[in-house]
Structures are given as structure tokens and as C-alpha cells.
Amino acid sequence: MEDVLVLIVGAGPAGLATAACLSQLSIPYVIVERENCSAPLWRKHMYDRLKLHLAKEFCELPHMSYPLDTPTYIPKSTFIKYLDDYIECFQIQPRYLTVVESSTYDIDRKYWSVVARDIDNCTIVNYMAKFLVVASGENSAKNIPAVPGLENFTGVSIHSSSYKSGITYSGRNVLVVGSGNSGMEIAYDLASHGANTSIVIRSPVHVMTKEIIRLGMTLVRRLPMKMVDGLVVMMANFKFGDLSRYGIMRPKKGPFALKSENGRSAVIDVGTIDLIKKGNIKVQGEITKIKGKTIEFQVGNEGSFDAIVFATGYKSTANMWLKNGDDLLNTEGLPKKEFPDHWKGETMLYCAGFARRGLAGIAMDAKNIANDIKHNIESMSG
Ligand SMILES: Cc1cc2nc3c(=O)[nH]c(=O)nc-3n(C[C@H](O)[C@H](O)[C@H](O)COP(=O)(O)OP(=O)(O)OC[C@H]3O[C@@H](n4cnc5c(N)ncnc54)[C@H](O)[C@@H]3O)c2cc1C
Ligand SMILES: *[C@@H]1O[C@H](CO)[C@@H](O)[C@H](O)[C@H]1NC(C)=O
Ligand SMILES: *[C@@H]1O[C@H](CO)[C@@H](O)[C@H](O)[C@H]1NC(C)=O
Ligand SMILES: *[C@@H]1O[C@H](CO)[C@@H](O)[C@H](O)[C@H]1NC(C)=O
Ligand SMILES: *[C@@H]1O[C@H](CO)[C@@H](O)[C@H](O)[C@H]1NC(C)=O
């Protein structure tokens, strides 16, 4: 049994940011990570051509700016370099290959009892922590929807977290399922590598440019959200025209309203729309059935496909190991309380990186959590 003051679960950007904020306040902590490196989502599970979708001023972690010559839209490799520098600067030493399997709060003795498995040597590690920070991410497990016949699909089926580049799909018939940022960009990547590409777009989506979003994010700090939503939708309509005849509907609510209500991001176009308009990427409705290589869609279309890429998002898994945390997280492992009160539970329990607000939200959470822990330590000793 190891006695620690603060235990951070997860060494992605949120765990690292919390670690940095704690060390700035000279508060000791231990940070554990199930994989063999920090930020594995970025190092192992993102496609090659990815750049941060938001401008760099919205993507900084606390206490460290990007070098001045960093491009506005940061490539994946530059972001990973920034994380490496961050880890070095704050001397963060995650304990890798350590999976937290359960956390129970001991009400009488007022500490978290945490059981972790060391996957390297198959041993159990027990921690006793005064404070517990859940930083295991909104993207902890792949989400693949139930599709009738998928188990009998005779082509290759992968999740977007395993997709690297379209280079291996040249000349193949490929279907992308999901029309968020990943799905739209992967479709573009496939088509530009010569794959015969189709994309399933099931629900309405706001298509924007990165410049329009950057302008909106800047304006929304000062102007009413409704006004900004009206403005960016007008600009996007001017830029893209009416996309409904291509099967892309615009939601009734504005992009910033949707983002703040349910965390759904607008799609930032990387060139996909142009390929859809040219017919290089075909838009399909929902899948109704899969048989062999044949996939049937709503409205009676069907096609033969060699591969399916599910860009259908991720889910949290914190609910599977966090016991007595129901004041903080719901049964889906997401915060119960709304932003900006989402990060703090009752029993010295916190979550970082669950506000559906990307890296900017992570930076806010990390600072709030470290300051609150400091405050609690002071009032315990005073
Ligand atoms: C494709 C994609 C693009 C994105 N682009 C942007 C962008 O441009 N700008 C932006 O602001 N945001 C972006 N995001 C959103 C967000 O910033 C990232 O997902 C970010 O990595 C979230 O950081 P995190 O630390 O909360 O979660 P993660 O990076 O997922 O880190 C959580 C860590 O916890 C570990 N873990 C989970 N369970 C356990 C356990 N039981 N025990 C031990 N360890 C555990 C995981 O292995 C993981 O390393 C993007 C997300 C995706 C998926
Ligand atoms: C992590 O594991 C992968 C294989 O899953 C391996 O390729 C990689 O080199 C390892 N990284 C580190 C830092 O050990
Ligand atoms: C397992 O690994 C941990 C940490 O890496 C180490 O402290 C422990 O001694 C190891 N146990 C065995 C049985 O090798
Ligand atoms: C998948 O194939 C199995 C065995 O051939 C069959 O029993 C099952 O009904 C098929 N599933 C679907 C959804 O078609
Ligand atoms: C490309 O995919 C579409 C949609 O599935 C299909 O109709 C078409 O025949 C495919 N083209 C080739 C050359 O395979």
C-alpha cells in the first residue's frame, strides 16, 4: 500500500496539465497511465495528416506557451513535441503500464483506496490517496455503433483511432461512417490517396472553415452567443452554399450554442466539401444492412466495399472503475454538473478534461483543481 497525497489517473494532456499545476504549487502527486507512453491518444491513435483544429491560442496548457514560430494551426508532431517539452519542464514522471481498476472512498478515514494493475509484471499496486483526479479522458474507449450484419462483413473494418493514412487504400472502395471532424478529414485523406470514397452522414452538421471558427471564438468572448452564431452561419453559408442537396443539413441551433449545450463541435472543412461537390466523395444515408461486402443504405442505395472506417467517436470509461464517485460522474463516465461546476466532487474527487472543451477546457480544469487542492491542504493543516 503506497500512501500518496494526490493520485492522477491518466497521463494525457489533462493529467499532465494537472501535474504541472500541482508542481507549481509544490504539491506532491503520483500520476499513473495504462499505456507505455504519455498522451498515447496523440502518439499512437491519431491519423498522420492531423493538425489541431483550433488556433494555437486556444490550445495551450497552463504555464507554458508555444514557441513564437509555432504555426497557427499546429501539426500533430509539433503538438507532441510541445508535450515532450512540457513533461521535461515540469519533470513529470508518469508510472506507465499501470491501469487503475477500482477506486473506493473510505468515508471514515477520508481517503481514496485505489487498486491498479501493473501490466508489465502482472502485479497489483494499491494506493491510498487523499485526493483523486480522474484524467482518463472523454476518449478512453472506441465507440462503434451496432450495425446489422457488421459481424459478417467480409472486408476490413477499423475504428478511426487505428487509421493512419489513405495510402494503403488506393483503388479500394472505402466507406467512412461518421461526419465529425475525424470522419470528414479521413474521407478527404482517402479520396486524395485515390480510394473510391463514400461517407455516411446521418445527422445535421455545421460545416465551417477554421478561420470562421477562429473569428467566432474570438468574438464570443465579448458578444452574445446568438449574435456570433448568426454571423458565423451566414459566413459559412456564403462560403459553402446550400449543402442540403449533397445530403448535408445544417442544424437549427447555431454551432456555438450546440457546442456549449452538448459539446458537439462544428466540422472544420479541410477540403472534403469540394470533393463532395465534385462527386469524388459520395454521401450516403444510414447503413441498413451489411451482407458480405455489400452495404445497403437508407433510400435504397447499395454498394460493394473493401473497408469501413468507423469515425464514430469515443466514450469515457471512468464509470467502470470509479466507485462512490456518483456525485461527480454519471453512468456514462461524464460529469453530472454542468460547466463551469463540472470538475469537482464532494470527497476530494476531481475530474480534468471532461468539459467537452478540448485543450482550453483542460487548462481551466487543471488550474481549478490544483488551486482547490492547495486550498484544502491549507485548511486541513490550519
Ligand atoms: C482526433 C481528435 C482530434 C482532436 N483535436 C483537438 C484540437 O485540435 N484541439 C483541442 O483543443 N482538442 C482536440 N481534441 C480533444 C482533446 O483535446 C483531446 O482528446 C485530448 O487528448 C484530451 O486529453 P485528456 O488528457 O483529457 O484525454 P486523453 O488524451 O485521452 O488521456 C487520458 C489518458 O488516460 C489514460 N487512461 C484511461 N483510463 C485509464 C485507467 N483506468 N488507468 C490508467 N490510465 C488510464 C489513457 O490511456 C489516456 O492516456 C481532439 C480529440 C481527438 C480524438
Ligand atoms: C510502446 O509499445 C509499442 C507497442 O505496443 C512499441 O512499438 C513502442 O516502442 C513502445 N513505446 C515505448 C516508449 O516503450
Ligand atoms: C513490478 O513493477 C514495479 C514497478 O515497475 C516494481 O516496483 C516491482 O518491484 C515489480 N514487481 C515484480 C514482482 O517484479
Ligand atoms: C451472420 O452470419 C451468420 C452465419 O452465417 C448468420 O447466422 C447470421 O444470421 C448473420 N448475421 C446477420 C445479421 O446477417
Ligand atoms: C465507387 O463507389 C460507388 C459507391 O459505392 C460505386 O457505385 C462505384 O461503382 C464505385 N466505383 C468503382 C470504380 O468501383
Ligand 4, atom 11: nearest CA belongs to which residue? 149
Closest atom of ligand 5 relative to the 304 alpha carbon: 5
**At residue 382, does pLDDT exceed 80?**
no
Residues of the chain with CATH 3.50.50.60: 2-140+316-381, 143-310
- Distance from the CA of 300 to the center of ligand 1, in angstroms? 38
2-9 vs 29-32, strand pairing mode: parallel
Q: Is 122 left (phi over 0), alpha (psi -120 to 50) or beta?
A: left
pLDDT at 300: 81
- Distance from the CA of 172 to the center of ligand 5, in angstroms? 9
Please state, for a pLDDT cut of 70, what percent of the chain lies above it: 100
Write out pLDDT tens, residues 37-63. 999 999 999 999 999 999 999 999 999
Ligand 4, atom 14: nearest CA belongs to which residue? 149
Q: Is the CB of 196 under 6 A from ligand 5?
A: yes
Is 207 within 8 Å of 316 (Cβ atoms)? no
CATH of segment(s) 143-310? 3.50.50.60
> Across residues 171-199, what is the average pLDDT?
98
Full DSSP string of 48-107 = TT-B-SS-GGGSPPTT-PPPTT--SS-BHHHHHHHHHHHHHHTT---B-SEEEEEEEEET
**At residue 264, does pLDDT exceed 90?**
no
C-alpha 68/C-alpha 108 separation (Å) is 51
pLDDT at 381: 82
- Residue 277 grid cell: 461537390
- Distance from the CA of 24 to the center of ligand 3, in angstroms? 29
pLDDT-derived band at 133 (thresholds 50, 70, 90) equals: very high
pLDDT at 103: 98
Write out pLDDT tens, residues 67-107. 999 999 999 999 999 999 999 999 999 999 999 999 999 99
Please state, for a pLDDT cut of 90, what percent of the chain lies above it: 97
C-alpha 230/C-alpha 57 separation (Å) is 23
**At residue 322, does pLDDT exceed 90?**
yes
Whose CA is closest to 239, among 212, 264, 259?
212
Is 89 within 8 Å of 68 (Cβ atoms)? no
**Residue 32 host element (H or E):** strand 29-32
Q: Give the fold, CATH level 3, of 2-140+316-381.
A: FAD/NAD(P)-binding domain (3.50.50)
Ligand 4, atom 1: nearest CA belongs to which residue? 152
- Distance from the CA of 99 to the center of ligand 5, in angstroms? 44
- The crossing angle, in degrees rounded to 10, of helices 255-262 and 210-219 is 70
Q: Is the CB of 294 under 6 A from ligand 4?
A: no
C-alpha 354/C-alpha 334 separation (Å) is 7
Write out pLDDT tens, residues 210-231. 999 999 999 999 999 999 999 9
Only one residue has cell 506557451, namely 65
**At residue 262, does pLDDT exceed 90?**
no
> Across residues 327-349, what is the average pLDDT?
95
pLDDT at 263: 83
C-alpha 214/C-alpha 53 separation (Å) is 10
Full DSSP string of 212-279 = HHHHHHHHTTTS-HHHHHHHHHHHHHHHH---GGGT-PPPSS-HHHHHHHH-PPPEE-SSHHHHHHHT
Whose CA is closest to 248, among 273, 265, 281, 268?
273
Write out pLDDT tens, residues 147-167. 999 999 999 999 999 999 999
pLDDT at 299: 81
Task: Give me the residues paired with residue 7 across strands.
Answer: 30, 132
Q: Is the CB of 46 under 6 A from ligand 1?
A: yes
Q: Is the CB of 118 under 6 A from ligand 3?
A: yes
Q: Is the CB of 183 under 6 A from ligand 1?
A: no
C-alpha 317/C-alpha 312 separation (Å) is 16
pLDDT at 371: 98
Phi/psi of residue 226, each to 5°?
Answer: -60, -40
- Distance from the CA of 118 to the center of ligand 2, in angstroms? 16
DSSP state of 322: B
Phi/psi of residue 289, each to 5°?
Answer: -165, 145
Write out pLDDT tens, residues 231-241. 999 999 999 99
pLDDT-derived band at 380 (thresholds 50, 70, 90) equals: confident
pLDDT at 334: 96
